[in-house]
């Protein structure tokens, strides 16, 4: 009797361990089970849907509408009604897992346009109607940490008794991001009056012998400031206008000494004392066009959405055509 009791005790313990393991194991969307789940944007590894807004003094750009469908791992045999709702208690968990510090999206900043259940029709793999959310006040969302709206499956109803919500992919995280960028997209120079460069001076991060900072303002397209060739050293150039000036754009003549030594991305900042800087935004462009030259240059426009008044303007170069060296032939300002 003692051995029999021990045997049954071992069976019970094993059964409980199996149940415990099964309850902790994450489900797989490749399994044969009928799982209902939510998905982040393409390429997301953490179920995130990013909603970017770019702000400048005159406008806000971004798409305020978000659509969240529900999915099934295989064609369903009967309609499935999926209820999706916000769950702000998941913000802290998301931040901890992803090393973020996003803020909960305020209720006043969004609305759910079509509350209620989403329906995955019999024979389908996704809901015929997505949950639609509108970001109603993007102008109020100005924290660089961004904002999070977790949307999770709270219940499913179906005559297909095998259907259940995924345990590890039942939530998507709508991440509303903030970026200030007073630099307009594109690189076509704007029209306007070239400012006199009398009194201007330059400060640069580093140089190549014979290609110093003043070459940017010497009036010749055949000379250029050229940075060091280090692939790890920072690359930047600062223009000191010798007094506050109001600028609506810069025109940059590429470095034609070596055409591969040109910027394709720069952070543009302004200052009145060369100490405290205001980031105006990020410029993105290309190297000089094929066929252009020092005598027929492909001038790049760095254009502001709203004019900027300052004495110092700094160009932090964060990407370039190739290699480690970068430079400008000429820098002019449009007033």
Residues 141 and 60 in one domain: yes
CA dihedral 97, 98, 100, 103 (to 10 degrees): -70
Average pLDDT over the chain reads: 92
Residues 68 and 161 in one domain: yes
Using one digit for the tens of pLDDT, what is the confidence trace for 289-303?
999 999 999 999 999
Cα 67–chain centre separation: 19
What's the total number of domains in the chain?
2
Q: How far apart are CA 135 and CA 38, in angstroms?
A: 20
Q: What is the pTM of this model?
A: 0.79
Residue ending a domain, among 150, 180, 210, is 180
Instruction: Please check the confidence at residue 110 and state whether its pLDDT lies above 70.
Output: yes
Range(s) of the domain holding residue 68: 33-180
Residues 141 and 224 in one domain: no
Question: Which tokens belong to 211?
Answer: 């290609």
Whether residue 10 lies inside any domain: the answer is no
CA dihedral 201, 203, 209, 214 (to 10 degrees): -20
Question: Which tokens belong to 3?
Answer: 């051995």
8 Å CB contact between 329 and 253: yes
Residues 161 and 263 in one domain: no
Other C-beta atoms lying within 10 Å of the C-beta of residue 130: 15
Whether residue 187 lies inside any domain: the answer is no
- What does the pLDDT read at residue 51? 98
Which residue did the predictor score with more confidence, 26 or 17?
26
Using one digit for the tens of pLDDT, what is the confidence trace for 191-209?
999 999 999 999 999 999 9
The continuous run of DSSP H or E covering 332 comes out as strand 327-334
Q: How far apart are CA 82 and CA 71, in angstroms?
A: 9
- What does the pLDDT read at residue 38? 97
Among 11-20, 67-76, 83-92, 320-329, name the one with the lowest average pLDDT. Answer: 11-20
Instruction: Read off the pLDDT of each residue in 122-138 and give the average, rounded to a whole number.
Output: 97
- Give the domain CATH number at 49: 2.60.40.1510
φ/ψ (deg, to 5) at 15: -65, -45
- Strands 71-72, 34-37: pairing is antiparallel
């Amino acid at each position: 009797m003692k051995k029999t009791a021990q045997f049954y005790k071992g069976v019970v313990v094993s059964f409980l361990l199996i149940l415990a393991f099964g309850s902790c194991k994450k489900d797989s969307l490749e399994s044969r089970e009928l799982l209902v789940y939510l998905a982040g944007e393409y390429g997301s590894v953490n179920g995130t849907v990013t909603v970017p807004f770019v702000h400048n003094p005159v406008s806000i750009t971004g798409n305020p509408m978000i659509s969240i469908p529900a999915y099934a791992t295989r064609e369903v045999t009967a309609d499935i009604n999926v209820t999706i709702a916000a769950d702000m208690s998941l913000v802290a968990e998301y931040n901890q897992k992803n090393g973020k510090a996003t803020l909960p999206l305020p209720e006043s900043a969004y609305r759910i346009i079509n509350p209620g259940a989403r329906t995955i029709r019999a024979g389908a793999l996704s809901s015929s109607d997505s949950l639609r959310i509108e970001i109603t006040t993007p102008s109020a969302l100005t924290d660089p940490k961004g904002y999070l709206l977790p949307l999770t499956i709270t219940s499913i109803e179906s005559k297909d008794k095998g259907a259940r919500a995924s345990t590890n992919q039942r939530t998507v995280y709508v991440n509303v991001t903030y970026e200030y960028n007073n630099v307009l997209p594109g690189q076509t120079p704007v029209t306007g009056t070239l400012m006199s460069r009398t009194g201007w001076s330059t400060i640069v991060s580093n140089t190549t012998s014979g290609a110093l900072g003043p070459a940017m303002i010497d009036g010749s397209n055949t000379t250029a400031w050229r940075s060091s060739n280090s692939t790890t050293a920072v690359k930047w150039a600062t223009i000191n206008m010798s007094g506050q000036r109001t600028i609506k754009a810069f025109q940059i003549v590429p470095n034609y000494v070596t055409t591969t030594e040109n910027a394709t991305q720069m952070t543009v900042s302004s200052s009145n004392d060369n100490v405290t800087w205001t980031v105006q935004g990020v410029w993105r462009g290309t190297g000089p066009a094929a066929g252009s030259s020092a005598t027929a240059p492909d001038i790049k426009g760095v254009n502001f959405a709203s004019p900027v008044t300052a004495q110092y303007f700094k160009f932090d170069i964060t990407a370039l055509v190739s290699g480690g060296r970068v430079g400008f032939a000429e820098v002019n300002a449009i007033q």
